[in-house]
């Protein structure tokens, strides 16, 4: 088996592939261009997109050139895959802003020094915006049958649940297939990689290219990842685990990986770090907390740099082991005059956004899960006064894992 495909399998990336044996032979024979698409529905990607990013890195590692398709055109429509309702349509300005920011984030992960593997960034709006509807139906639409389109999960599930599916969304799969055709023509792209929920769309592209130009191209999918708890990868109780430090601090990103379920640690070392499979095998029996710190350091270094990873680890040590304020903890500022309004502990926690549910905060107080400067709070009516602040700072803690500094200004 080709080395790229072997490591793809060994790391657990592999789910489905079209013509795997032929693809393996092609990859042995030459270096290829391969693409992954990202819709630009938010200003940042979150860790739910990280496996696809690791696929881009793996392509580079094995000497292939990744193409990053930013869906400026398809985002204007919305992918129905895995959705039970129509997505909110974004404005032109919002989409362009998202594209710029997502490209900046992706460049943190990808190497641009080797001209042979330097990533190519494309925006599908550049070719979709000028399509002539009649010509598109005649030249491209004729290769798709309604019968087959209705059989794909993204369509079938919505119809079975009697949920509306707009004609606009129904066309998404044709446009994604057309993207592959355009990239095959313009960039000699031979492979599309995506999540398993994209299998039908990817196969459409492979078949369209075969019918349109008689070229043989390939599709490869990765499994959809859930945490051992059953939760969806990318989301926590506190919200999305963003890849942009404006929305999630490097420390909180480090903490996400440090607090991963024990059962996920070895799998995630394979998925989300560059540590070799052989090395992971050697260290797999080490203390689980040591492995979690390794995972947190490797993932944070990859996104935010080695210095941020070191700072995050030291901050965690100060916070949990030394019981200090932790210089680099996330922080909020509040006006001193607010204290005149009889702010209690529940109000302060809501302001900090550590928890927004007042009933959940009361439950945590009853369970001794709230601390100020390391001291357990048992009174839900406790008023926040200036005397609680040391040098105008307090450390607010929810349970063992959520901490924030509150600064009085």
Domain ranges of the chain: 3-222, 249-320, 331-408
Q: Strands (DSSP E) along 127-234, which ranges?
A: 189-195, 218-222
Query: Which superfamily is assigned to 249-320 in CATH?
Result: Tyrosyl-Transfer RNA Synthetase (1.10.240.10)
CATH assignment of 331-408? 3.10.290.10
Q: Strands (DSSP E) along 356-401, which ranges?
A: 370-372, 375-376, 393-398
Mean pLDDT across 98-120: 97
CA–CA dist 109, 112 (Å, integer)? 10
Q: Is residue 323 pLDDT above 70, yes or no?
A: no
Domains 249-320 and 331-408 belong to one CATH topology = no
What band does 6 get if pLDDT is binned at 50, 70 and 90? very high
Q: What is the pLDDT of residues 345-364, one digit of tens each?
A: 998 998 888 888 888 899 98
Q: What is the pLDDT of residues 378-398, one digit of tens each?
A: 888 888 888 888 778 888 888
So what's the pLDDT on residue 298?
Answer: 98
- Encode 50-61: b = buried (16+ Cβ within 10 Å), e = exposed: bbbbbbbebbbe
CA–CA dist 49, 80 (Å, integer)? 17
Q: Is residue 260 pLDDT above 70, yes or no?
A: yes
Angle at 211 (CA atoms; ends 208, 215), nearest 5 degrees: 90
Helices 20-29, 3-10: inter-axial angle, 10-degree rounding? 130
Share of the chain above pLDDT 90, in %: 60
Q: Which fold has domain 3-222?
A: Rossmann fold (3.40.50)
| Structure token digits, residue 348 | 């302060």
Mean pLDDT across 107-124: 97
What band does 238 get if pLDDT is binned at 50, 70 and 90? low
Taking the mean position of all CA atoms in its chain, how far away is CA 109?
Answer: 12
pTM of the model as a whole: 0.79
What band does 275 get if pLDDT is binned at 50, 70 and 90? very high
So what's the pLDDT on residue 315?
Answer: 86
The mean of the pLDDT values for the chain is: 89
So what's the pLDDT on residue 80?
Answer: 59
């Amino acid at each position: 088996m080709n080395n790229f495909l072997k490591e793809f399998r060994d790391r657990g990336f592999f789910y489905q592939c079209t013509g795997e044996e032929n693809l393996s032979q092609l990859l042995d024979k030459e270096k290829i261009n391969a693409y992954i698409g990202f819709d630009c529905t938010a200003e940042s990607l979150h860790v739910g997109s990280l496996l696809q990013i690791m696929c881009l890195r793996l392509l580079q590692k094995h000497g292939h050139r990744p193409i990053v398709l930013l869906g400026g055109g398809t985002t204007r429509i919305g992918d129905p895959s895995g959705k039970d309702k129509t997505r909110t349509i974004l404005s032109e300005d919002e989409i362009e802003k998202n594209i710029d920011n997502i490209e900046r984030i992706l460049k943190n992960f990808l190497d641009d020094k080797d001209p042979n593997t330097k990533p190519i960034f494309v925006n599908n709006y550049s070719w979709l915006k000028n399509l002539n509807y009649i010509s598109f139906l005649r030249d491209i639409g004729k290769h798709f049958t309604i019968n087959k389109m209705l059989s794909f999960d993204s369509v079938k599930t919505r119809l079975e649940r009697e949920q509306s599916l707009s004609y606009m969304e129904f066309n998404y799969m044709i446009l994604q297939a057309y993207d592959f055709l355009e990239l095959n023509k313009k960039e000699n792209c031979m492979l599309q990689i995506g999540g398993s929920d994209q299998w039908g769309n990817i196969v459409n592209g492979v078949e369209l290219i075969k019918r349109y130009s008689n070229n043989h191209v390939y599709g490869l999918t990765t499994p959809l990842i859930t945490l051992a708890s059953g939760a969806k990868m990318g989301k926590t109780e506190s919200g999305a685990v963003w890849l942009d430090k404006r929305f999630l601090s490097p420390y909180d990103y480090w903490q996400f990986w440090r607090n991963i379920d024990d059962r996920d640690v070895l799998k995630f070392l394979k998925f989300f770090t560059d540590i070799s499979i052989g090395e992971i095998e050697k260290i797999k029996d080490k203390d689980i907390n040591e492995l979690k710190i390794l995972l947190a350091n490797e993932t944070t270094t990859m996104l935010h740099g080695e210095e941020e990873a070191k700072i995050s680890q030291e901050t965690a040590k100060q916070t949990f082991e030394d019981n200090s304020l932790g210089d680099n903890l996330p922080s909020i500022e509040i006006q001193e005059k607010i204290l005149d309004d009889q702010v209690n502990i529940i109000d302060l926690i809501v302001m900090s956004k550590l928890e927004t549910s007042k009933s959940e905060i009361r439950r945590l107080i009853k369970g001794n899960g709230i601390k100020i400067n390391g001291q357990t709070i048992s009174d839900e009516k406790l008023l926040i006064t200036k005397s609680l602040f040391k040098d105008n700072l307090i450390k607010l803690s929810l349970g063992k894992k959520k901490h924030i500094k509150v600064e009085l200004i």
